[in-house]
Structure 1
Amino acid sequence: MKKLVLTGAAGRLGSYLREPLTQLCDELVSTDIADDIGTLYAGESYMSGDLASMDDMMRVLDGADMVVHMGAYADEGPFEKLLGPNFVGAYNIWEASHRLGLKRVIYGSSIHAVGMHPKSDFIDTNVAHRPDTFYGLAKCFAEDLGSLYWDKHGLESVHMRILSCAQVTSPRALGSWLSYDDLIQLVTRCIDSPTVGFSVVYGVSDNDRAPVDNSQVNFLGYRPKDNAEQFAADILANAEPANPQDVGDMCHGGPFASVALGNSGMATMDIVDDTKKT
């Protein structure tokens, strides 16, 4: 592949994807709204751009073969705050990709697109949308965009419904954890699979307690290696019992399922900022 674009390159997940993605293409263009992202890897360049600007996305995506779209406002918030980066930004990515003739969009979707499904349901990739927040609603919108642009324009896309790609700090994460190594493998398979059409895949490691089913997308070749069970004894020894009256404990979306619309879900979670530094 000649040129690959990574949006959200200044984010925590983006920081772990930048170096591996340089190995898959002649030129990696990393982009975000930040002024810079530190030292660049060999084969990487940086272009600042606003997802909500079609002109910026046309400039950034020009000449690319594929885009790994990880950029977004990465939390629940008022609808107006998410409208530009998450809703309009997704449209701009797909429309610019169509106009410029890209082959594929690899999208960082989320479990929050289906977060209100009960955790007792072992859900597969064909389950109906059931967002838990405006943030989750934006993920539903982008997934439907991907379906529409595949049907109308033949633009391929893979939508990675990431569960929780962060250090394991809670009982929920024993099932939902996606390690950084497995994230890299997942994105790589989304890029190098010969054909994907419109596909949805759960971003989750090979956890004993994983609450989702990827069997419908075995053709992607994603075979996670890591298992959060290694953390179970320590996590469970210090955890409060689950509350069956709390939808945050009982639904796939976890804390996002229980917060009021427009209120931060991340503020209720213990997320370790281990962003990779260059």
Structure 2
Amino acid sequence: MDSNRERSKMLLNPRRLKRMPINLRKKAIREARNLAGMQQPTKSQRRLRKSTSTKSRLQNDFERAEHNAMLTASSHELQQILSEFEELADVPYDATPTELLGLIAQAENRATTIYVQRDGLSTLKIMLHQRSPTVAQLKKAIATISCAQLKRRQRERRRVADEDDAGRADDGSRQQVVGSAGAKVLPRSSGELVNSALRNGHEHRAFVSWRFLWRCFALFNVDTNQPIDDNVDNGRATLTALGIENGAKLKFVHRVKYFGRKRQS
């Protein structure tokens, strides 16, 4: 351990690091970090770390339970408020700011509505509140609304599964006849954001990011039968400049098919 500590100090000598090239400097810092991680903690440190982690874990569990209870109460209260007004009956209680701004702009007749078709999934209705929306704002709205709809779909699946489990638990005679083999197995919730995973024969990764998806997929204008280059002016090009009008229909296509392969930076 002493030799590792001495070697780590030697590698992190400021004068020595200053004379090194950038690649060797990074290598020395990386080796020193690895050596520091190899040092074994003492018994007192292990005991203190274990007790501290247990206390913090209990505190985090308590705070998480309180936070979830507050969210549940707020959701029920919002549902009750929205149900009392006919004008707000179609507004989801967990609406995102993008959806709310789009609904307000639609009520004021100044929204830009775009329909994004997805293979095997429902069509996204994107309402942009900006007066001259750009393609970057459209992509951000698509990501936000699709993730919100995915959470609602997963919540509905869990609710249906819980109701089925409760029904099977109450109906004891039916449970004896059907058994575990007759129980319905719902499809596992997955990150279906661009197209249906079940239709393509495989499931998407559950926590795939939109940054990764935009590297793989691009938007295609169904009305003009042309792909949309979202890199024009670094995403600041307006939808009108790209030929996307109000009420246009778009869909997802593989980016490599129309724009070729590009080296990832």
Tell me the TM-score range normalised by the shorter chain. under 0.3
Q: Which has the higher contact order (CA 8 A, sep 6+)?
A: 1
TM-score (normalised: structure 2): 0.21
Higher helix share: 2
